[in-house]
Structures are given as C-alpha cells and as structure tokens.
Amino acid sequence: MRSIETLRILIADQQGVLEEWMHLLAEQGSDMLDRFGREYLTQQSERFLGSLIKLLDEQSDNNRVDEREGANRLLQELSLLGTQAGSSPKSFMPYALTLKEVIFHRLQAMQGAELSVIYAVIGQLDRMFSKMSHFYYEEYINRREQVIKAQALAIQELSAPVIQVWEGVLALPLIGTIDTQRAKGIMENLLEEIVCTKCPHVIIDITGVPIVDTGVAERLIKTVEAGRLVGAECILTGIRPEVAQTLVMLGVSLGDIVTKATLQAGLAHILKTREPDRLQVEESVI
C-alpha cells in the first residue's frame, strides 16, 4: 500500500474527519473558531478538506502532494478572510496543524499498515502542510500590503478634500506635511474636481500646513499652475506671519498668485471680483 493511497483512505470519510477536526479545534480553544464562528468555519473547513481530497486524487506516488495546485484558491480565500478579521498566520498554523493531527491519529489507528508506508505518509504530510503554511504566509503578507496601500490611499484622499463652498468656488484645505507623493495626489484630486464641477475659482488654504519651505512652495505653485491650465484661478490662503517670514528669508516668490490671510478673506475676494462680471453681464442683457 503506497503513501498517497494510504492518505486517501485516511481521509475518505470526509464527514468523520471534519467532525474530529472541529471537535479538536474546540478542545484547543482555537482562535479561528472565536473569530469566525463554528458554523462558518465548518463550512470553510469542509471546502478545505474537499480541496485536499481532490489534490490527493490528482496525485500519484511519483508526483508529490506538496505541489499544492488544488489548495491554492482556498488558501487565498482563507488568507483574505483572516486578513479582514485581523487574524494572523499564528491563528492559521494551529488550525491547519490540527487537521494534520487528526490524520496522524487515524494513521496510528490503522490496522496492517507497513512501517515504511507510515513513514512515507508522515513525510507527505510534513511536506504538504509545510508548503501550505508557507503559501499562507506569502498570501497573508500580500493581502496585508494591499490593505495598507488601500488605507494609505483613503487617508491621502481624506487629507486633501476638495469642497465646493460657493457656486463656482472650490476650497482645498490642506493639513499636515506636504511631501512629493502627497502633492501629486492633491494635484490629481483638485484637477479632477475642477474638470468635474467646472468651477472657475479655487481657494487653497494652507492654515494647517506646519512647515512651508522652498519644496512645499514649489509644489503649491505647480498646483496653482495646473489649475489654471484646466480653467480655474487659484487663490492661496492661510499664510501665517511666520510662514511669510520664512518664505521671504528663503527668497521664495509666489509670482502672481493671489494670497490672502484667511479662507474667508479669499472667498470675499473671489465674490468681489465676480461682482463686476455679473453686473457687466446684466448690463449687456438689458
């Protein structure tokens, strides 16, 4: 009796193996049970076990089980589930090894198995679960990186909200340090909103920016210039006295960019400059 065939026999009773697995997990106080609940984890474990049986059916003793083709998709789903629930590989490892323990107990109780076959089965189990665990670690890390990137993007978007504060007027209140990467995101968000809303005026408020040096000033100037290219005039507000002194000492010139002390002053300036245009339009209609 060869090792693959022996493994097939050991887990052929899928329902019995599943029950023993869940019972042992409950006895050990599995973290996976606490997080996902017995019913859901049983369903996922049944699929896991089914993938393992399918994997064994596709193998022969000449093709080792640890090629893991049949279990990849399920491991990816388990990894995603674990990542979303905040479960770490430390939770998955005892979960998977408990199934290995169930199979090993069944191997011990098997009658008439040759010692060489037993050793071969143990070797297959070790390789298979080692590969599964390795894959789970890789997939878990990939998932966590995706989550971190998505969170960083969400934080970036929230840190530079573009708000329509008046008809035809957008406001971009900036808070925190503005590095090159964040400046790029700010510019992209602003240009998209200008094009989408067709607002001709934008107020960029830097009251919440703690440090405005040469680099930050250059990024702001580029943002204003980009806004002009898509049809919006930008006003810079929130330049505090200490920031103004720093810019003067650094020799930074904001060129012809209109600056105001506060966002309210910037909005008042826009409304004031728009009033003659409105009157001119009304006179031409009359």
The alpha carbon of 129 is separated from its chain's Cα centroid by a whole number of angstroms, namely 28
Quick one: 20 and 89 in the same domain? yes
* Angle between helices 14-28 and 89-109 in degrees, nearest 10: 130
Statement to judge: residues 117 and 178 lie in one domain? no
Global pTM value: 0.49
Phi-psi region of 163 (alpha: psi -120 to 50; beta: other; left: phi over 0): beta
Cβ atoms of residues 102 and 21 within 8 Å: yes
CA distance 223 to 254: 12
Q: Are residues 186 and 247 in the same domain?
A: yes
- Identify the CATH number of the domain in which residue 233 sits: 3.30.750.24
User: Collapsing DSSP states into helix, strand and coil, what is residue 39?
Assistant: helix
* Residue 172 dihedral angles phi and psi, to the nearest 5°: -125, 90
Q: Does residue 225 share a domain with residue 139?
A: no
Q: Look at residue 30 in the predicted model and tell me its pLDDT.
A: 84
Task: Quickly state the pLDDT bin for 82 (edges 50, 70, 90).
Answer: low
* Percent of the chain topping pLDDT 90: 20
Residue-level pLDDT at 76: 59
Number of domains in the chain: 2
Residue 163 scores a pLDDT above 50: yes
> Do residues 198 and 83 share a domain?
no
Beta-carbon contacts of 132 under 8 Å, excluding residues fewer than 6 positions away, are 68, 71, 75, 96
Q: How many residues does the chain have?
A: 286
- Could you tell me the residue range of the domain that residue 212 belongs to? 163-285
| Co-location of 127 and 26 in the same domain | yes
Residue type at 145 in one-letter notation = E
What is the average pLDDT across 51-67?
59
Same domain, 97 and 219: no
Contacts for 70 with CB less than 8 Å, ≥ 6 apart? 51, 52, 54, 55, 58
Taking only the tens place, the pLDDT of each residue in 84-108 is 555 677 777 788 889 889 988 888 8
Tell me: do 186 and 67 sit in the same domain. Answer: no
Q: Do residues 198 and 218 share a domain?
A: yes
Per the DSSP assignment, residues forming a β-bridge with 203 are 171, 235
CATH code, domain with 65: 1.10.490.70
Task: Indicate the residue among 156, 176, 201 that finishes a domain.
Answer: 156
Tokens of 95: 């979960």
Of 132, 156, 180, the residue at which a domain comes to its end is 156
Residue type, 81: L
Are residue 95 and residue 202 in the same domain, yes or no? no
Residue type, 159: S
- Categorize the per-residue pLDDT at 65 as very low, low, confident or very high, splitting at 50, 70 and 90: very low
Least confident range from 55-59, 200-204, 214-218: namely 55-59
